[in-house]
Amino acid sequence: MFNFEITDEQIESFNNDGFVVVDRIISDENVALLRERLDVLFSGEYETGIGPDEVNWKINRDPIQNTRQICNGWKSDRYVASVVLRQDIGKACAVLGGWPGTRISQDNILWKPPGGKPLGFHQDSAYEQWTAIPEWASCWIALDDTTAEGGDR
Protein backbone atom coordinates (compact mmCIF):
# COMPACT_ATOMS: atom_id res chain seq x y z
CA MET A 1 0.00 0.00 0.00
CA PHE A 2 1.23 3.47 -0.71
CA ASN A 3 0.28 6.83 0.74
CA PHE A 4 -0.58 9.98 -1.12
CA GLU A 5 -0.85 13.62 -0.14
CA ILE A 6 -3.05 16.28 -1.62
CA THR A 7 -1.05 18.95 -3.46
CA ASP A 8 -1.64 22.69 -3.38
CA GLU A 9 -2.82 22.49 -7.01
CA GLN A 10 -5.38 19.81 -6.09
CA ILE A 11 -6.64 21.91 -3.17
CA GLU A 12 -7.08 24.87 -5.53
CA SER A 13 -8.88 22.64 -8.04
CA PHE A 14 -11.18 21.34 -5.29
CA ASN A 15 -11.96 24.86 -4.09
CA ASN A 16 -12.77 25.97 -7.66
CA ASP A 17 -14.59 22.89 -8.96
CA GLY A 18 -15.86 21.04 -5.86
CA PHE A 19 -13.94 17.89 -6.76
CA VAL A 20 -10.41 16.75 -7.46
CA VAL A 21 -9.14 13.80 -9.46
CA VAL A 22 -6.34 11.77 -7.90
CA ASP A 23 -4.76 9.22 -10.20
CA ARG A 24 -3.78 5.95 -8.55
CA ILE A 25 -5.06 6.54 -5.03
CA ILE A 26 -4.52 2.81 -4.47
CA SER A 27 -2.06 0.39 -6.05
CA ASP A 28 -2.87 -2.16 -8.75
CA GLU A 29 -2.35 -4.85 -6.09
CA ASN A 30 -4.99 -3.17 -3.88
CA VAL A 31 -7.39 -3.06 -6.83
CA ALA A 32 -6.93 -6.79 -7.51
CA LEU A 33 -7.39 -7.71 -3.85
CA LEU A 34 -10.47 -5.48 -3.50
CA ARG A 35 -12.04 -7.10 -6.56
CA GLU A 36 -11.55 -10.51 -4.95
CA ARG A 37 -12.98 -9.35 -1.62
CA LEU A 38 -15.97 -7.69 -3.27
CA ASP A 39 -16.80 -10.94 -5.07
CA VAL A 40 -16.80 -12.62 -1.66
CA LEU A 41 -18.94 -9.87 -0.06
CA PHE A 42 -21.50 -9.95 -2.84
CA SER A 43 -21.68 -13.74 -2.53
CA GLY A 44 -22.91 -13.20 1.04
CA GLU A 45 -19.75 -14.27 2.88
CA TYR A 46 -18.73 -11.89 5.67
CA GLU A 47 -15.20 -12.53 6.91
CA THR A 48 -15.72 -10.73 10.24
CA GLY A 49 -19.05 -12.43 10.92
CA ILE A 50 -20.76 -9.02 10.81
CA GLY A 51 -23.08 -8.29 7.91
CA PRO A 52 -23.05 -4.95 6.11
CA ASP A 53 -25.68 -2.40 7.13
CA GLU A 54 -27.38 -2.67 3.76
CA VAL A 55 -27.20 -5.18 0.90
CA ASN A 56 -29.22 -4.20 -2.15
CA TRP A 57 -28.31 -7.15 -4.38
CA LYS A 58 -28.08 -10.82 -3.49
CA ILE A 59 -26.90 -13.74 -5.58
CA ASN A 60 -29.71 -16.10 -6.64
CA ARG A 61 -32.27 -13.46 -5.61
CA ASP A 62 -31.78 -10.48 -7.88
CA PRO A 63 -31.27 -10.21 -11.66
CA ILE A 64 -27.60 -10.33 -12.64
CA GLN A 65 -27.95 -7.15 -14.73
CA ASN A 66 -28.99 -5.07 -11.69
CA THR A 67 -26.57 -2.61 -10.17
CA ARG A 68 -25.34 -3.95 -6.83
CA GLN A 69 -24.79 -2.00 -3.62
CA ILE A 70 -23.44 -2.72 -0.15
CA CYS A 71 -23.32 -0.08 2.58
CA ASN A 72 -20.60 -0.37 5.22
CA GLY A 73 -18.82 -3.36 3.77
CA TRP A 74 -15.83 -2.34 5.88
CA LYS A 75 -17.61 -3.88 8.88
CA SER A 76 -17.78 -7.21 7.09
CA ASP A 77 -14.29 -7.52 5.62
CA ARG A 78 -10.94 -6.58 7.15
CA TYR A 79 -9.25 -5.97 3.79
CA VAL A 80 -12.03 -3.65 2.64
CA ALA A 81 -11.68 -1.87 5.99
CA SER A 82 -7.91 -1.52 5.49
CA VAL A 83 -8.57 0.52 2.34
CA VAL A 84 -11.72 2.40 3.36
CA LEU A 85 -10.26 3.50 6.70
CA ARG A 86 -6.83 4.54 5.40
CA GLN A 87 -5.28 7.43 7.28
CA ASP A 88 -4.11 9.22 4.14
CA ILE A 89 -7.61 9.18 2.64
CA GLY A 90 -9.06 10.61 5.85
CA LYS A 91 -6.35 13.24 5.98
CA ALA A 92 -6.97 14.23 2.33
CA CYS A 93 -10.69 14.66 3.05
CA ALA A 94 -9.85 16.78 6.11
CA VAL A 95 -7.45 18.97 4.16
CA LEU A 96 -9.96 19.48 1.34
CA GLY A 97 -12.79 20.21 3.78
CA GLY A 98 -10.67 22.53 5.93
CA TRP A 99 -11.36 20.36 8.98
CA PRO A 100 -9.07 19.31 11.85
CA GLY A 101 -9.94 15.63 11.24
CA THR A 102 -12.47 13.25 9.74
CA ARG A 103 -14.73 10.33 10.63
CA ILE A 104 -16.32 7.85 8.32
CA SER A 105 -20.06 8.10 7.86
CA GLN A 106 -20.30 5.07 5.59
CA ASP A 107 -18.76 3.30 2.68
CA ASN A 108 -20.87 2.52 -0.33
CA ILE A 109 -19.70 -0.31 -2.56
CA LEU A 110 -21.26 -0.18 -6.01
CA TRP A 111 -20.94 -2.76 -8.76
CA LYS A 112 -22.57 -1.71 -12.01
CA PRO A 113 -22.45 -4.47 -14.63
CA PRO A 114 -22.36 -3.44 -18.31
CA GLY A 115 -25.82 -2.14 -19.17
CA GLY A 116 -26.81 -2.14 -15.49
CA LYS A 117 -29.45 0.29 -14.32
CA PRO A 118 -28.13 3.63 -13.04
CA LEU A 119 -28.50 4.78 -9.46
CA GLY A 120 -30.06 8.17 -8.85
CA PHE A 121 -27.65 10.95 -7.94
CA HIS A 122 -28.17 12.30 -4.44
CA GLN A 123 -26.32 13.76 -1.48
CA ASP A 124 -26.28 11.65 1.67
CA SER A 125 -26.13 14.70 3.94
CA ALA A 126 -29.91 14.99 3.58
CA TYR A 127 -30.18 11.62 5.34
CA GLU A 128 -27.60 12.35 8.04
CA GLN A 129 -29.52 14.65 10.38
CA TRP A 130 -27.72 13.37 13.49
CA THR A 131 -24.84 15.81 13.07
CA ALA A 132 -24.81 19.48 14.05
CA ILE A 133 -22.62 20.46 11.09
CA PRO A 134 -23.63 18.45 8.01
CA GLU A 135 -20.41 18.78 6.03
CA TRP A 136 -19.27 15.78 4.01
CA ALA A 137 -16.57 14.74 1.60
CA SER A 138 -16.72 11.65 -0.57
CA CYS A 139 -13.79 9.67 -1.88
CA TRP A 140 -14.71 7.57 -4.92
CA ILE A 141 -12.24 4.85 -5.84
CA ALA A 142 -12.86 3.25 -9.24
CA LEU A 143 -11.69 -0.35 -9.55
CA ASP A 144 -12.13 -0.36 -13.34
CA ASP A 145 -11.02 2.11 -15.98
CA THR A 146 -13.83 4.58 -16.47
CA THR A 147 -14.74 7.91 -18.01
CA ALA A 148 -17.26 10.59 -17.13
CA GLU A 149 -19.38 9.43 -20.07
CA GLY A 150 -19.21 5.79 -18.91
CA GLY A 151 -21.72 6.36 -16.11
CA ASP A 152 -24.50 6.84 -18.63
CA ARG A 153 -24.22 3.39 -20.15
Domain-wise residue ranges, the chain: 8-17+24-116+135-142
The mean of the pLDDT values for the chain is: 87
91 contacts: CB under 8 Å, gap ≥ 6: 5, 102
- The answer, as to whether pTM is greater than 0.95, is no
**CA nearest to 109, candidates 49, 46, 21, 20:** 46
pLDDT, tens digit, for every residue of 70-117?
A: 999 999 999 999 999 999 999 999 999 999 999 888 899 999 888 887
pLDDT at 126: 67
Q: Are 46 and 72 in contact (CB under 8 A)?
A: no
pLDDT, tens digit, for every residue of 131-145?
A: 666 678 888 898 988
pLDDT at 147: 74
Alpha helices in the chain (DSSP H): 8-17, 28-42, 78-84, 87-97
pLDDT at 33: 94
Share of the chain above pLDDT 90, in %: 54
